[in-house]
């Protein structure tokens, strides 16, 4: 039976961490049983490269040293791999164990519990009992979803600064279009993930919604060509799509008792003039992107008074529904 | 079952941890590492096959009788290991996100921020990649604080709550059970008027009062949040919506049974809801970007609402 991968990785890690001098590939092959079982040189080389990458993903710093006899040597020096002293009090440790539970994405959930295990092994005092039940703490359970298949490959590409390409369907496009992007940062807002980056064809900064990416994320060779800004604010762009940060206002008539969220956003509310006062109010509300979509939802309980373009948009939409 | 990467990561920390704790109990160690006892025993079966050099005969002599764990040739084979970039990112991004939640108790926020600073220092360059991910939770700070307090003190709440499906505010007394954030912040409670568990979104709470009466919710199985907040029942009525390319967002926002591609770039979406009338808003919003295929009554009510609305603009 083939030796399990975890056992092989563990043996390689222990060898690399406990040697005083760099070990050659040949020496490592003879020290790790799983490698000795492989007869093909090529297969061994491929496996060894993958294993080194896996250990590096786990945080191990593996140095490659050119040894005198022309062979490359490998070593994971203790001083470079040690977790520096970290003194967390019980409150801080409790805060981190709450944070470690928030990921609903397999890779980051695994990484978060791996981090806690390392800290615990280093002596950080984590309580075993539920933090949630402890007196004096907020009882909140935060969760970060990341169900979009594009999330993990984009996270890794942004981390390693690798350009990518993918097919993207804009919100009202009939077909997806290929995009070449240098991924800068990912941000989750209102439960959805967005990518900010440099769009190579458009030679401009763009924000993409991950759920609109169709198909695979493909890695492109080469480096980033555009400078990565120090601070990437995805949220501001997305909030403006959502119609927030509006500077203009609109006037509407709203049936009394209806449209609470419109009332909550209103800058001014008063009873409608004349005979309508008994049943209707007039409101002044912020007018940003998407307001027409939203007002139509209220059907006969909202009448747009101004501006004319918003009124026309809403009437247009209502006509489409009335036609069926 | 855990994958090989997670298992390797765990075993590396395990050898450091066990070194300090001769005769440790399997149950304690499993809890500390967040795994089942069976998973831990799996690790303990692998560790005796590991060592610094297979030929040197210095394999780890770790064994267990199923209750306690003994390491007979205790050795300094592993030290507390530095954090990997993904590990630092996973903790830092989550901790920063939670720290920004409006309504969080100040002592918790301060503890999170202090922990972040210490973690950044300990992670060194591995912390750098955490700047490439960020998460914002939305919450209504004052409502959050009241719900938080009600749960901690086991007290009943009175709320005026907005239901978008009916476009109305209703008043109810509820016994809060849990408070959670998934993009927006919600709380789950036993609603005394409907005698059922209900989910309330904090930004839809128009008014809230903490009552003196103790909360007395029946014991209910906690919901698995990873399965999504809306879990339609199989016997809920079916609604079929056809949307053009401009209405594809419906599939992103509404949990659905199926979404078939249409030749024009649109979708035919089948979903279930206990109350199809609540989708009238969706039908109105879609306008020329989509239409309700069935049930007919829902399509008719959207059309009637649109006609009535047009009348106010002087159109029939």
Comparing A2-11, A47-56, A271-280, B222-231, which segment has the lowest mean pLDDT? Answer: B222-231
Per-residue pLDDT band for B224 (boundaries 50, 70, 90) equals confident
Find which of A12, A14, A207, A272 to mutate to test the B interface (most B CBs within 10 Å of its CB): A14
Count of positions (residues) in chain B: 316
Interface residue B253 vs chain A (CB under 8 A): no
Q: Which one-letter DSSP state was computed for residue B257?
A: S
Q: According to the model, what pLDDT value does residue B60 have? A: 87
Q: Which of A91, A122, A260 sits opposite B169 (nearest CB)?
A: A260
Interface contact flag, A82 B80, Cβ < 8 Å: yes
Q: According to the model, what pLDDT value does residue B56 have? A: 58
The answer to whether residues B57 and B11 touch, using CB atoms and an 8 Å cutoff, is no
What's the CATH number for B4-71? Answer: 1.10.10
Interatomic CA distance for residues B179 and A141, integer angstroms: 6
HEC profile of B127-183: HHHHHHEEEECCCCHHHHHHHHHHHHHCEEEEEEEEECCCCEEEEEEEEEEEEEEEC
Q: Which one-letter DSSP state was computed for residue B204?
A: G
Residue B202's nearest CA partner among B144, B155, B253, B157 is B144
Interface contact flag, A118 B51, Cβ < 8 Å: no
| HSE, side-chain direction, 13 A CA sphere, residue B278 | 14
Mean pLDDT in residue range B142-168: 93
Mean pLDDT in residue range A74-95: 92
Interface contact flag, B118 A112, Cβ < 8 Å: no
Interatomic CA distance for residues B123 and B125, integer angstroms: 6
Interatomic CA distance for residues B111 and B98, integer angstroms: 11
Tokens of A287: 């007018």
Q: According to the model, what pLDDT value does residue B156 have? A: 97
Q: Which one-letter DSSP state was computed for residue B61?
A: -
Interface residue B209 vs chain A (CB under 8 A): no
Interface residue B29 vs chain A (CB under 8 A): no
Interatomic CA distance for residues B58 and A114, integer angstroms: 26
| HSE, side-chain direction, 13 A CA sphere, residue A101 | 15
Comparing A14-23, A90-99, A127-136, B169-178, which segment has the lowest mean pLDDT? Answer: A127-136
Interface contact flag, B287 A95, Cβ < 8 Å: no
Give the angle B272-B274-B278 at the CA atoms, nearest 5°. 90
H or E element in which residue A9 lies: helix A5-17
Interatomic CA distance for residues B262 and B244, integer angstroms: 8
Query: Nearest-CA residue of chain A relative to B111?
Result: A92
Give the 3-state secondary structure of residue A314: helix
Decide if the complex's ipTM is over 0.90: no
Residue B92's nearest CA partner among A144, A236, A279 is A144
Chain B residues in contact with A86 by the CB 8 A cut-off are 118-119, 121-122
Per-residue pLDDT band for B2 (boundaries 50, 70, 90) equals low
Chain A residues in contact with B160 by the CB 8 A cut-off are none
Which are the contacts of A149, defined by CB distance < 8 A and separation ≥ 6? Answer: none
Interface contact flag, B122 A159, Cβ < 8 Å: no
- pTM for the structure as a whole: 0.86
Would you kindly state where each structural domain of chain B is located, as residue ranges?
Answer: 4-71, 85-132, 141-227, 238-311
Interatomic CA distance for residues A260 and B168, integer angstroms: 7
Would you kindly state where each structural domain of chain A is located, as residue ranges?
Answer: 5-81, 86-130, 151-241, 248-323
Q: How far apart are the first and last CA of chain B?
A: 64
DSSP-assigned letters across all residues of A115-163: HHHHHHHTT----SS-STTSTTS--EEE-B----TTHHHHHHHHHHT--
Interface residue B293 vs chain A (CB under 8 A): no
> CA–CA distance from A69 to each of A66, A73, A75 (Å)?
8, 10, 16
Chain B residues in contact with A14 by the CB 8 A cut-off are 50-52, 77-78
User: Facing residues of B100 across strands?
Assistant: none
Interface residue B201 vs chain A (CB under 8 A): no
Whether the per-residue pLDDT at A286 is higher than 80: the answer is yes
Interface contact flag, A260 B87, Cβ < 8 Å: no
Q: According to the model, what pLDDT value does residue B311 have? A: 93
Chain B residues in contact with A175 by the CB 8 A cut-off are 265
Beta pairing class for A268-271 and A72-75: unpaired
Q: Which one-letter DSSP state was computed for residue B277?
A: G
User: Facing residues of B274 across strands?
Assistant: none
Interface contact flag, B9 A171, Cβ < 8 Å: no
Interface contact flag, B7 A6, Cβ < 8 Å: yes
Mean pLDDT in residue range B243-270: 90
Tokens of B160: 């005026």
Whether the per-residue pLDDT at A1 is higher than 50: the answer is no
Tokens of A169: 């369907």
Count of positions (residues) in chain A: 324
> CA–CA distance from A153 to each of A158, A182, B60, B203 (Å)?
9, 13, 37, 33
Q: B170 CA to chain A: closest CA distance, Å?
A: 11
> CA–CA distance from A7 to each of A11, A74, B65, B105 (Å)?
6, 19, 21, 44
Beta pairing class for B267-272 and B238-243: antiparallel
Tokens of B1: 């079952």
The answer to whether residues A173 and B266 touch, using CB atoms and an 8 Å cutoff, is no
Interatomic CA distance for residues A90 and A65, integer angstroms: 42
Interatomic CA distance for residues A3 and B270, integer angstroms: 48
Residue A93's nearest CA partner among A126, A119, A138 is A126
Comparing A94-103, B43-52, B271-280, B289-298, which segment has the lowest mean pLDDT? Answer: B271-280
The fraction of chain B above a pLDDT of 70, given in percent, is 96
Regarding predicted confidence, which is higher, B193 or A253? Answer: A253
The answer to whether residues B58 and A31 touch, using CB atoms and an 8 Å cutoff, is no
Comparing A150-159, A165-174, A202-211, which segment has the lowest mean pLDDT? Answer: A165-174
Mean pLDDT in residue range B153-180: 93
Interatomic CA distance for residues B180 and A144, integer angstroms: 11
Interface residue B13 vs chain A (CB under 8 A): yes
Residue A111's nearest CA partner among B101, B90, B188, B83 is B90
Q: Which of B46, B144, B280 sits opposite A7 (nearest CB)?
A: B46
Chain A residues in contact with B136 by the CB 8 A cut-off are 187-189, 235
Q: Which of B112, B164, B306 sits opposite A299 (nearest CB)?
A: B306
Average pLDDT taken over every residue of chain B: 89
Query: Nearest-CA residue of chain B relative to A228?
Result: B132
Per-residue pLDDT band for A136 (boundaries 50, 70, 90) equals low
Mean pLDDT in residue range B11-37: 91
Maximum distance among all alpha carbons in chain A? 99
Q: How far apart are the first and last CA of chain A?
A: 66
Average pLDDT taken over every residue of chain A: 89
Whether the per-residue pLDDT at A232 is higher than 90: the answer is no
Q: Which of A83, A116, A311 sits opposite B82 (nearest CB)?
A: A83
Whether the per-residue pLDDT at B243 is higher than 90: the answer is yes
What's the CATH number for B141-227? Answer: 2.30.30.520
The fraction of chain A above a pLDDT of 70, given in percent, is 96
Regarding predicted confidence, which is higher, A12 or A243? Answer: A12
User: Facing residues of A178 across strands?
Assistant: A167
Strand order in the sheet with B68-71: B24-25, B68-71, B62-64
Write the class of the CATH domain A5-81: mainly alpha
Interface contact flag, A54 B90, Cβ < 8 Å: no
Chain A residues in contact with B86 by the CB 8 A cut-off are 57, 107-108, 111, 159
Give the 3-state secondary structure of residue B305: helix
Q: According to the model, what pLDDT value does residue A128 have? A: 59
Mean pLDDT in residue range B99-120: 92
Mean pLDDT in residue range A251-270: 94
Q: Which of A57, A186, A318 sits opposite B86 (nearest CB)?
A: A57
Comparing A31-35, A67-71, B2-6, which segment has the lowest mean pLDDT? Answer: A67-71
Q: According to the model, what pLDDT value does residue A200 have? A: 95
> CA–CA distance from A299 to each of A74, A292, A302, B173 (Å)?
70, 11, 6, 30
Mean pLDDT in residue range B40-50: 92
Query: Nearest-CA residue of chain A relative to B5?
Result: A6
Chain B residues in contact with A318 by the CB 8 A cut-off are 284, 287, 306, 309-310, 313
Comparing A16-30, B12-26, B53-67, B111-125, which segment has the lowest mean pLDDT? Answer: B53-67
Interatomic CA distance for residues B159 and B187, integer angstroms: 12
Tokens of B182: 């998934």
Interface contact flag, B104 A87, Cβ < 8 Å: no
Q: B32 CA to chain A: closest CA distance, Å?
A: 7
Q: What are phi and psi of B39, to 5 degrees?
A: -65, -40
Interface contact flag, B303 A322, Cβ < 8 Å: yes
- Interval B269-293: pLDDT, tens: 999 888 887 889 999 999 889 999 9
Q: According to the model, what pLDDT value does residue A139 have? A: 81
Q: According to the model, what pLDDT value does residue A160 have? A: 92
Mean pLDDT in residue range B103-115: 92
Per-residue pLDDT band for B1 (boundaries 50, 70, 90) equals very low
Comparing A134-138, B142-146, B207-211, B263-267, which segment has the lowest mean pLDDT? Answer: A134-138
Q: According to the model, what pLDDT value does residue A163 have? A: 97
Whether the per-residue pLDDT at A133 is higher than 50: the answer is no
Interface contact flag, B302 A321, Cβ < 8 Å: yes
Interface contact flag, B118 A3, Cβ < 8 Å: no
The answer to whether residues A65 and B93 touch, using CB atoms and an 8 Å cutoff, is no
Regarding predicted confidence, which is higher, B75 or B98? Answer: B98
Domain B4-71 and domain B141-227, same fold? Reply is: no
Q: Which of B20, B47, B94 sits opposite A144 (nearest CB)?
A: B94
Interface contact flag, A322 B50, Cβ < 8 Å: no
Interface contact flag, A99 B95, Cβ < 8 Å: yes
Beta pairing class for B168-182 and B62-64: unpaired
Mean pLDDT in residue range A156-177: 91
Tokens of B265: 């770039």
The answer to whether residues B272 and B312 touch, using CB atoms and an 8 Å cutoff, is no
Per-residue pLDDT band for A130 (boundaries 50, 70, 90) equals very low
Interface contact flag, A114 B10, Cβ < 8 Å: yes
Query: Nearest-CA residue of chain B relative to A93?
Result: B115
């Amino acid at each position: 039976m083939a030796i399990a991968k975890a056992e092989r990785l563990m043996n390689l890690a222990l060898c690399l961490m406990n040697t005083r001098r760099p070990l050659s590939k040949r020496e490592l092959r003879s020290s790790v049983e799983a490698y000795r079982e492989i007869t093909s040189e090529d297969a061994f080389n491929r496996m060894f490269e993958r294993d080194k990458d896996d250990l590096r993903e786990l945080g191990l710093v593996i140095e490659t040293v050119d040894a005198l006899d022309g062979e490359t040597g490998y070593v994971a020096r203790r001083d470079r791999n040690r977790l520096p002293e970290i003194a967390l009090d019980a409150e801080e440790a409790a805060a981190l164990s709450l944070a470690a539970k928030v990921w609903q994405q397999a890779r980051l959930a695994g990484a978060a519990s791996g981090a806690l295990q390392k800290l615990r092994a280093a002596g950080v005092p984590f309580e075993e009992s539920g933090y949630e039940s402890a007196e004096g703490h907020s009882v909140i359970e935060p969760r970060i979803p990341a169900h979009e298949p594009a999330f993990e490959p984009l996270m890794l590409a942004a981390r390693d600064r690798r350009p990518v390409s993918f097919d993207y369907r804009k919100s009202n496009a009939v077909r997806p279009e290929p995009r070449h992007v240098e991924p800068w940062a990912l941000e989750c807002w209102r439960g959805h993930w967005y990518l900010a980056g440099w769009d190579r064809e458009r030679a401009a900064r763009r924000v993409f919604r991950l759920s609109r990416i169709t198909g695979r994320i493909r890695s492109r060779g080469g480096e980033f060509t555009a400078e990565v800004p120090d601070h990437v604010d995805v949220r501001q762009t997305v909030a403006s799509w959502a119609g927030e940060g509006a500077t203009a206002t609109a006037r509407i008539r709203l049936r009394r008792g209806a449209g609470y969220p419109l009332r909550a956003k209103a800058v001014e509310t008063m009873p409608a003039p004349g005979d309508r006062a008994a049943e209707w109010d007039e409101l002044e509300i912020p007018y940003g992107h998407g307001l027409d979509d939203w007002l139509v939802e209220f059907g006969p309980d909202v009448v747009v008074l101004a501006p004319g373009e918003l009124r026309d948009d809403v009437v247009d939409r209502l006509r489409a529904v009335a036609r069926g | 079952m855990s994958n090989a990467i997670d298992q390797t990561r765990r075993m590396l920390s395990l050898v450091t941890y066990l070194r300090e704790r001769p005769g440790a109990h399997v149950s304690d160690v499993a809890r500390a590492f967040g795994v089942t006892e069976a998973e831990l025993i799996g690790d303990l079966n692998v560790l005796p096959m590991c060592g610094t050099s297979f030929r040197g005969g210095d394999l780890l002599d770790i064994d267990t009788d199923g209750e306690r764990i003994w390491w007979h040739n205790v050795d300094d084979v592993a030290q507390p290991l530095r954090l990997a970039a993904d590990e630092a990112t996973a903790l830092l991004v989550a901790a920063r996100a939670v720290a920004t939640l409006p309504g969080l108790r100040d002592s918790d926020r301060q503890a999170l921020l202090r922990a972040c600073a210490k973690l950044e220092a300990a992670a060194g360059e591995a912390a750098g990649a955490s700047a490439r991910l960020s998460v914002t939770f939305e919450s209504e700070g004052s409502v959050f604080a009241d719900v938080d307090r009600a749960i901690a003190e086991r007290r009943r709440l009175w709320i005026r709550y907005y239901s978008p499906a009916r476009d109305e505010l209703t008043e109810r007394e509820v016994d809060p059970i849990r408070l959670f954030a998934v993009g927006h912040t919600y709380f789950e409670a036993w609603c005394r008027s409907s005698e059922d568990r209900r989910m309330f979104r904090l930004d839809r709470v128009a008014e809230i009062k903490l009552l003196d009466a103790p909360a007395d919710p029946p014991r209910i199985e906690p919901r698995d949040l990873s399965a999504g907040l809306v879990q339609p029942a199989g016997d809920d009525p079916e609604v079929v919506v056809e949307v053009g390319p401009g209405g594809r967002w419906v599939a992103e926002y509404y949990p659905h049974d199926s979404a078939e591609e249409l030749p024009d770039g649109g979708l035919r979406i089948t979903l279930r809801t206990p109350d199809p009338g609540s989708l009238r808003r969706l039908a109105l919003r879609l306008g020329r970007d989509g239409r309700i295929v069935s049930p007919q009554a829902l399509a008719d009510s959207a059309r009637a609402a649109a006609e009535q609305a047009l009348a106010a603009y002087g159109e029939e």
